[in-house]
A and B are shown apart, each in its own frame.
Chain A
Amino acid sequence: MTVFSLVLLTYFMVVSGFVYDVIVEPPGIGSTQDPATGAVRPVVFLPGRVNGQYIIEGLSSGFMFVLGGIGIVLLDLALDKNRARSVKVSYAIAGISSVVIAYVMTTLFIRIKIPGYLREKREAFVRDDDLQLGYF
Chain B
Amino acid sequence: PFFASNTTLVAYFFGKEIWDSGAGLVAAILIAVCPGYISRSVAGSYDNEGVAIFALLFTFYVFVKAVNTGSLAWSLASAFGYFYMVFYFLDWVKHMLSDTKLFQAFLRITVTSAVAVGGIALGLGMVSGYISPWTGRFYSLLDPTYAKDHIPIIASVSEHQPTAWSSFMFDFHILLFLFPAGLYFCFKRLSDATIFIVMYGLTSMYFAGVMVRLILVATPAVCLISAIAVSATVKNLTVLLRSKNKVVQTGSTKGSGGSKSSSKALLDQSQPFQKNGAIALLFGAFYLLSRYATHCTWVTSEAYSSPSIVLAARGAHGNRVIFDDYREAYFWLRQNTPQDAKVMSWWDYGYQITAMGNRTVIVDNNTWNNTHIATVGRAMSSYEDEAIEIIRSLDVDYVLVVFGGVTGYSSDDINKFLWMVRIGGGVFPVIKEPDYLVNGEYRVDKGAAPKMLNCLMYKLCYYRFGEMMTEYGKPPGYDRARGVEIGNKDVKLEHLEEAFTTSNWIVRIYRVKPPNNRW
State the CA gap A46–B166 with chains docked (Å): 10
Interface residues of A in 18-65 (CB under 8 A from B): 18-20, 22-24, 46, 50-53, 57-58, 61-62, 65
> Which segment of B9-17, B59-67, B101-109, B299-307 sits at the interface?
B299-307
State the CA gap A36–B304 with chains docked (Å): 39
Determine whether the beta carbon of B159 is less than 8 Å from that of A73: no
Is B162 on the interface with A (CB-CB < 8 A)?
A: yes
From the candidates A10, A20, A73, A113, name the one contacting B162 in the complex (CB within 8 A): A20
Is B212 on the interface with A (CB-CB < 8 A)?
A: yes
Known contacts A3-B187, A73-B184, A102-B177; A19/B411 CB under 8 A: no
Determine whether the beta carbon of B411 is less than 8 Å from that of A76: no
State the CA gap A106–B157 with chains docked (Å): 28
Interface residues of A in 83-136 (CB under 8 A from B): 85, 92, 96, 99, 102-103, 106-107, 109-110, 113-114, 116-118, 121-136
Determine whether the beta carbon of A134 is less than 8 Å from that of B158: yes
Known contacts A72-B233, A118-B298, A122-B312; A53/B185 CB under 8 A: no
Q: How far is the CB of A19 from chain B (nearest CB, A)?
A: 4
State the CA gap A122–B416 with chains docked (Å): 23
| A residues near B187, Cβ cutoff 8 Å | 3-4
Please, which residue of chain B has its CB at the minimum distance from the CB of A59? B165
Interface residues of B in 202-222 (CB under 8 A from A): 202, 205-206, 208-210, 212
State the CA gap A65–B179 with chains docked (Å): 9
Determine whether the beta carbon of B158 is less than 8 Å from that of A135: yes
| B residues near A15, Cβ cutoff 8 Å | 165, 168, 176, 205, 209
Determine whether the beta carbon of A75 is less than 8 Å from that of B176: no
State the CA gap A44–B308 with chains docked (Å): 30
| A residues near B306, Cβ cutoff 8 Å | 122, 127
Determine whether the beta carbon of A122 is less than 8 Å from that of B145: no
| B residues near A117, Cβ cutoff 8 Å | 298
Q: How far is the CB of A68 from chain B (nearest CB, A)?
A: 3
| A residues near B183, Cβ cutoff 8 Å | 4, 7-8, 11
| A residues near B303, Cβ cutoff 8 Å | 126-127, 130-131
| B residues near A68, Cβ cutoff 8 Å | 174, 176-177
From the candidates B157, B206, B411, name the one contacting A128 in the complex (CB within 8 A): B411
Q: Which of A22, A73, A113 has most B Cβ within 10 Å?
A: A73
Please, which residue of chain A has its CB at the minimum distance from the CB of B305? A127
From the candidates A24, A113, A125, name the one contacting B410 in the complex (CB within 8 A): A125
| A residues near B191, Cβ cutoff 8 Å | none
Interface size, chain A (Cβ < 8 Å): 68
Determine whether the beta carbon of A113 is less than 8 Å from that of B166: yes
Determine whether the beta carbon of A76 is less than 8 Å from that of B308: no
Q: Which of B170, B209, B295, B313 has most A Cβ within 10 Å?
A: B209
Is B269 on the interface with A (CB-CB < 8 A)?
A: yes
| A residues near B389, Cβ cutoff 8 Å | none
From the candidates B169, B281, B320, name the one contacting A106 in the complex (CB within 8 A): B169
| B residues near A121, Cβ cutoff 8 Å | 314
From the candidates B205, B229, B281, B308, name the one contacting A131 in the complex (CB within 8 A): B308
Q: How far is the CB of B326 from chain A (nearest CB, A)?
A: 12
| A residues near B419, Cβ cutoff 8 Å | 135
State the CA gap A96–B158 with chains docked (Å): 38
| A residues near B184, Cβ cutoff 8 Å | 4, 69, 72-73, 76
Determine whether the beta carbon of A103 is less than 8 Å from that of B202: no
Is B181 on the interface with A (CB-CB < 8 A)?
A: yes
| B residues near A4, Cβ cutoff 8 Å | 183-184, 187
Chain B, interface residues (CB within 8 Å), range = 35 or more
Determine whether the beta carbon of A22 is less than 8 Å from that of B144: yes
Determine whether the beta carbon of B178 is less than 8 Å from that of A69: yes
| A residues near B170, Cβ cutoff 8 Å | 50, 110, 114, 130
Is B232 on the interface with A (CB-CB < 8 A)?
A: yes
From the candidates B145, B158, B180, name the one contacting A73 in the complex (CB within 8 A): B180
Determine whether the beta carbon of A70 is less than 8 Å from that of B348: no
Is B69 on the interface with A (CB-CB < 8 A)?
A: no
Is B434 on the interface with A (CB-CB < 8 A)?
A: no
State the CA gap A29–B400 with chains docked (Å): 39
Is B276 on the interface with A (CB-CB < 8 A)?
A: no
Determine whether the beta carbon of B205 is less than 8 Å from that of A134: no
Known contacts A20-B164, A23-B144; A72/B240 CB under 8 A: no
Determine whether the beta carbon of A75 is less than 8 Å from that of B281: yes
Determine whether the beta carbon of A57 is less than 8 Å from that of B165: yes
Determine whether the beta carbon of B177 is less than 8 Å from that of A81: no
From the candidates A18, A72, A116, A133, name the one contacting B178 in the complex (CB within 8 A): A72
Q: Which of B158, B166, B202 has most A Cβ within 10 Å?
A: B166
Please, which residue of chain A has its CB at the minimum distance from the CB of B165? A61
Q: How far is the CB of A35 from chain B (nearest CB, A)?
A: 13
Q: How far is the CB of B507 from chain A (nearest CB, A)?
A: 15
Determine whether the beta carbon of B162 is less than 8 Å from that of A23: yes
Is B263 on the interface with A (CB-CB < 8 A)?
A: yes
Determine whether the beta carbon of B416 is less than 8 Å from that of A134: yes
Determine whether the beta carbon of A103 is less than 8 Å from that of B174: yes
Q: How far is the CB of B59 from chain A (nearest CB, A)?
A: 24
**Residues of A in contact with B (beta carbons under 8 Å apart):** 3-4, 7-8, 10-11, 14-20, 22-24, 46, 50-53, 57-58, 61-62, 65-66, 68-73, 75-76, 79, 81, 85, 92, 96, 99, 102-103, 106-107, 109-110, 113-114, 116-118, 121-136
Having A11-B202, A122-B312, A134-B411, one finds 18 other A-B pairs with CB under 8 Å, namely: A7-B183, A10-B202, A14-B209, A19-B210, A20-B164, A53-B164, A79-B266, A81-B263, A81-B265, A85-B269, A102-B177, A103-B177, A103-B288, A117-B298, A122-B313, A131-B308, A134-B157, A135-B415
Question: Would you list the 9 A-B pairs with minimal beta carbon distance, nearest first?
Answer: A69-B180, A68-B177, A72-B181, A14-B209, A53-B164, A20-B162, A61-B165, A19-B162, A17-B164
5 contacts between A and B (CB under 8 A): A22-B162, A61-B165, A73-B184, A76-B232, A134-B411
